[in-house]
Amino acid sequence: MQVEQRKWNKNKGWEILSDFKLGNKANLVFVFGSTDLVQDQSKFDEVRSIYPKAEIVVSSGSGEIMAGETSTHTLCVTAIHFKKTKIETLEIKLDDVKDSFDVGAHISAHINKDDLSNLMIFSNGDQINGSHLLTGLQFNLSETVPITGGLAGSYDPFSSTYTGLNGIGVKGSVIGIGFYGNDLKIGHSSKAGWTPFGPERFITKSTNNILFELNEEPVLDFYQKYLEGLFDDMVEAIRIYPLGIKTENGEERLLRAFLGYNKEKGGALFAGDMPEGARVRMMKSNISSLIDAAGDAAHSCTLPFDIKEPDLALCVSCVGRQFVLQDWVSEEIQNVNEVFEGQVPLAGFYSYGEIAPQGPNKKSALHNHTMTITTFKEL
């Protein structure tokens, strides 16, 4: 497996970070960038001219990750040549199916499942219910097939996001990439760095990913009770103190990122399902714990798979982490880079949701507020 990378911005144009003259040999290309650049036909045509035979996967983010650094208003291109591994790609449009579950079900039904070892997903981030997408993906797949990836993001909070396959980024698209055979080892890890505090509460009223009440109390009243005096705006408080859902295995909670609040209906919109009856607690964090968690993710994604030095590490980090880290956001990527001793190409973006198994040999789930890393090593 060979990996080469290049980056474009307005001031410098194209900057080649590594070059193995892959050209026609490239099988798969990831293109991550700002919403305007991933929609730029001329930029896509340039990438296509360099890699004429590759499957090109495009996703917008709320920031780009490449070569141990974060950037904005850039187009980051990572090209891969697999020597032994076969891949298959497919794209489903939201307009062509009934709902988010149906998108996932179509992908899992139509992708070739013979010798399928891993599935990677890049999805629209603002029109999709990520929890329902995962349920649909798992509907026709064996539980032994790990699913990783992420939901596209945007610099403007929770505005339109763009993904595409072999074309510019568009709204409402979900892309699946299947990896086949035993010659490719793919590791995965998702770490948050958040801890629960305050009383545990039950979700007593919700609709899919819209939360109305905790213990029969309006969600804003709940936050007001425990954070009164710390915030003038309780909507802002929900962003800083997200909710963690207790999982069946009792391990780390599934975090849910707050997207917005509907004053008329009194509902808080989250990035994933908030099922009635689920037990939740508020979660807290700080800059140091988030940075440390990113390093933990880099370390743990190689251990169960005996991948000493991956050929590539694909990082999908949450926009909610950006909100907390702010000027320190580059530190979490630098920490990941340090764990890999600067020897592993990094690529990725900041997302509206991260997809990964909850642990080794566990089902994949939609995460928020995590650093999720997928590592690739071809034998």
Q: Which of 107-111, 144-148, 339-343, 357-361 has the lowest mean pLDDT?
A: 357-361
Please report which confidence band the pLDDT of residue 293 belongs to, taking 50, 70 and 90 as the band edges.
very high
Residues 77 and 147 reside in one and the same domain = yes
Out of 229, 253, 284, pick the residue that ends a domain. Answer: 284
Q: Give mean pLDDT, residues 261-274.
A: 87
pLDDT at 302 over 90: no
pLDDT at 304 over 80: no
Residues 201 and 254 reside in one and the same domain = yes
Residues 152 and 120 reside in one and the same domain = yes
Residues 183 and 210 reside in one and the same domain = no
**Contact by Cβ (8 Å): 271, 366:** yes
**Contact by Cβ (8 Å): 205, 212:** yes
Give the residue numbers spanning the domain of 262. Answer: 195-284
- Average pLDDT over all residues of the chain: 93
Concatenated DSSP letters of 287-314: HHHHHHHHHHHHHHTTGGGT-SS-SEEE
Please report which confidence band the pLDDT of residue 231 belongs to, taking 50, 70 and 90 as the band edges.
confident
The tens digit of pLDDT for each residue in 15-24 reads 999 999 999 9
pLDDT at 28 over 90: yes
Please report which confidence band the pLDDT of residue 281 belongs to, taking 50, 70 and 90 as the band edges.
very high
DSSP, res 143? T
The tens digit of pLDDT for each residue in 154-178 reads 998 768 999 999 999 999 999 999 9
Q: What pLDDT is attached to residue 29?
A: 98
User: What is the chain's Cα-based Rg?
Assistant: 20
Q: Give mean pLDDT, residues 307-333.
A: 92
The count of structural domains within the chain is 2
Q: Which of 29-38, 168-177, 242-251, 268-277 has the lowest mean pLDDT?
A: 242-251
**Buried-exposed string 170-207: b where 16+ CB fall within 10 A, e elsewhere:** bbbbbbbbbbbeebbbbbbbbbbbbebeeeebebebbe
Q: Which of 209-218, 256-265, 326-335 has the lowest mean pLDDT?
A: 256-265
d(CA 206, CA 49): 49
Please report which confidence band the pLDDT of residue 234 belongs to, taking 50, 70 and 90 as the band edges.
confident
Handedness of CA 293, 298, 303, 305 (dihedral sign): positive
Residues 34 and 174 reside in one and the same domain = yes
Residues 203 and 187 reside in one and the same domain = no
Q: What pLDDT is attached to residue 86?
A: 97
**Contact by Cβ (8 Å): 216, 323:** no
Residue 260's CB is within 10 A of a number of other CB atoms, namely 14
Q: Strand 147-151 and strand 116-123: pairing? A: parallel
Q: What pLDDT is attached to residue 107?
A: 97
% of the chain residues with pLDDT over 70: 99
Please report which confidence band the pLDDT of residue 251 belongs to, taking 50, 70 and 90 as the band edges.
low
Residues 40 and 105 reside in one and the same domain = yes
Residues 226 and 326 reside in one and the same domain = no
Distance of CA 337 to the CA centre of its chain: 18
**Contact by Cβ (8 Å): 332, 294:** yes
The tens digit of pLDDT for each residue in 328-370 reads 999 999 999 999 999 999 999 999 999 999 877 788 999 999 9
Q: What pLDDT is attached to residue 239?
A: 82
Q: What pLDDT is attached to residue 287?
A: 95
pLDDT at 307 over 80: no
Beta carbons within 8 Å of 100's beta carbon, 6+ residues apart = 94, 128, 129, 130, 132, 133, 136
% of the chain residues with pLDDT over 90: 78
Which residues lie across from 92 on neighbouring strands? 174
Please report which confidence band the pLDDT of residue 55 belongs to, taking 50, 70 and 90 as the band edges.
very high
**Contact by Cβ (8 Å): 313, 340:** yes
The tens digit of pLDDT for each residue in 5-16 reads 999 999 999 999
Q: Give mean pLDDT, residues 37-50.
A: 98
**Contact by Cβ (8 Å): 181, 115:** yes
Residues 278 and 311 reside in one and the same domain = no
Out of 227, 253, 284, pick the residue that ends a domain. Answer: 284
Residues 177 and 208 reside in one and the same domain = no
Residues 48 and 131 reside in one and the same domain = yes
End-to-end CA distance of the chain: 8
Out of 284, 302, 331, pick the residue that ends a domain. Answer: 284
Beta carbons within 8 Å of 82's beta carbon, 6+ residues apart = 1, 27, 28, 184, 378
**Is the pLDDT higher at 356 or at 303?**
356
Residues 162 and 212 reside in one and the same domain = no
d(CA 281, CA 300): 26
Beta carbons within 8 Å of 189's beta carbon, 6+ residues apart = 296, 297, 298, 299, 300, 301, 356, 372, 373
Please report which confidence band the pLDDT of residue 263 belongs to, taking 50, 70 and 90 as the band edges.
confident
Q: What pLDDT is attached to residue 249?
A: 62
